[in-house]
Amino acid sequence: MPELPDLTVVADALHAAIAGRSVRSAAAPGPLAVRGTPAELEALVGQRVEAIRQVGKFLLIALEQDAIACNPMLTGRFQLAAPGDKLPAKTAFVLGFGPRLVSPPDAAAWTRGASWLPASDALPEIRYRDPTQMGKIYLQPAGVARPVPGLGPPDQGPDADDPALTLDVWRDRIRRHPGELKNLLRNQAFVAGIGNAYSDEILHAARLLPFRKRSSLAAEEVDALYVATRATLANAVEVLKERVPPTFELQVRDFLAVHDKGGQPCPRCGTRITEVRAGGFITSFCRGCQR
């Protein structure tokens, strides 16, 4: 499942590649994934892309008038392609773009001069593909109030790496959630963007067990969880910037310390990593160095 680090890198890259271009074509080969009418889809053509950004587990595309909210859920992936590139199976949504005069001045520094950036006169495409067809693309025409489940308050709290989420705000927000730490981190209403993989990584970095209750944490442990959250996500974004382009549909997870590494030695203490399967999810942790 794409989480905050994955989507941050994809959003930075797509913004750098596409912002400033106008939509040439809009198609929904997998119409079940798209919430919106054919007329709303057609109305995207001609609109210039203002920004592409990540919020929580969503990718948001802001156009001149309308907007598009993408929730890739478990298996949705984004591809930056050229027209004529083979369309992968289970492609649900394709936007084609025209040329642009200049690159966006607010593109992320790490994308500048990247070899995968399409030339200004190129005609790139964004494709959304979803093998399980669980994700959704919500068309948001100006003036149409179409609810997007899970986007915005109260279901969605601040992004886990939001500069406005200070330690004081974290301490205040966490009080409302007494339950198990893994569920807490995955609760988008607490902080947004963390899923199954990065919750395991953050708890390992904080040396806290996933099934421990927040209500049992000492004040220093609450603070350690904050520090671990910020450091783990920031580090992952740095790694993914190097590893993911130009294949943005790749989900790179091999650098993680514990998640999905059951039976392998813990990189910190050497204890064999424990793996628990519950509710269809893998939880990985170290009994040697997490308390």
Chain positions 237 to 266 lying near Zn ion, rule: CB under 5 A, are: 266
CB of 215 to Zn ion, least distance (A): 24
Q: What is the DSSP letter of 151?
A: S
CB of 265 to Zn ion, least distance (A): 8
- Count of Cβ atoms closer than 10 Å to residue 283 Cβ: 22
Q: Which stretch binds Zn ion (CB under 5 A): 24-32, 102-110, 133-141, 278-286?
A: 278-286
Q: Which is nearer to Zn ion, 60 or 258 (CB)?
A: 258
104 within 8 A of 16, measured Cβ to Cβ? yes
Q: How many residues bind Zn ion (CB under 5 A)?
A: 7
> With helix as H, strand as E and coil as C, how does 158-198 read?
CECCCCCCCHHHHHHHHCCCCCEHHHHHHCCCCCECCCHHH
**Residue 290: Cβ-neighbour burial (10 angstroms; 0-12, 13-18, 19+):** buried
Q: Which one, 162 or 221, has the nearer CB to Zn ion?
A: 221
Distance in Å, CB of 233 to Zn ion, minimum: 20
- CB atoms inside a 10 Å sphere around CB 113: 7
Candidates 24, 186, 268, 272; binder of Zn ion (CB under 5 A) is 268
Q: What does the per-residue mask of binding to Zn ion show for 5-34, with x meaning CB under 5 A? A: ------------------------------
Other CB atoms closer than 10 Å to residue 64's CB: what's the count?
14
Position closest to Zn ion via CB = 266
* Interface with Zn ion in residues 60-79 (CB under 5 A): none
- Contacts of Zn ion in 92-121 (CB under 5 A): none
Determine which residue in the list 134, 169, 282, 289 makes contact with Zn ion, applying CB under 5 A. 289
Q: Pick from 29, 46, 150, 288: which binds Zn ion (CB under 5 A)?
A: 288
> Shortest approach of Zn ion to residue 273 CB, angstroms?
8
Q: How far apart are CA 284 and CA 259, in angstroms?
A: 5
Taking the complex as a whole, the smallest distance from the CB of residue 184 to Zn ion amounts, in Å, to 21
Please report, for residues 70, 101, 193, 281, the alpha-carbon distance to residue 73 in angstroms, rounded to integers and kept in the order given: 9, 34, 11, 14
Q: What is the DSSP letter of 152?
A: S
Q: How far is the CB of 251 from Zn ion (least distance, A)?
A: 25
Instruction: Pick the closer one to Zn ion by CB: 100 or 182.
Output: 182
Is 269 a residue that touches Zn ion (CB under 5 A)?
yes
- Do the Cβ atoms of 289 and 208 come closer than 8 Å? no
Q: Cα(87)–Cα(120) distance, rounded to whole angstroms?
A: 23
Instruction: Report the interface residues with Zn ion, using CB under 5 A.
Output: 266, 268-269, 271, 286, 288-289
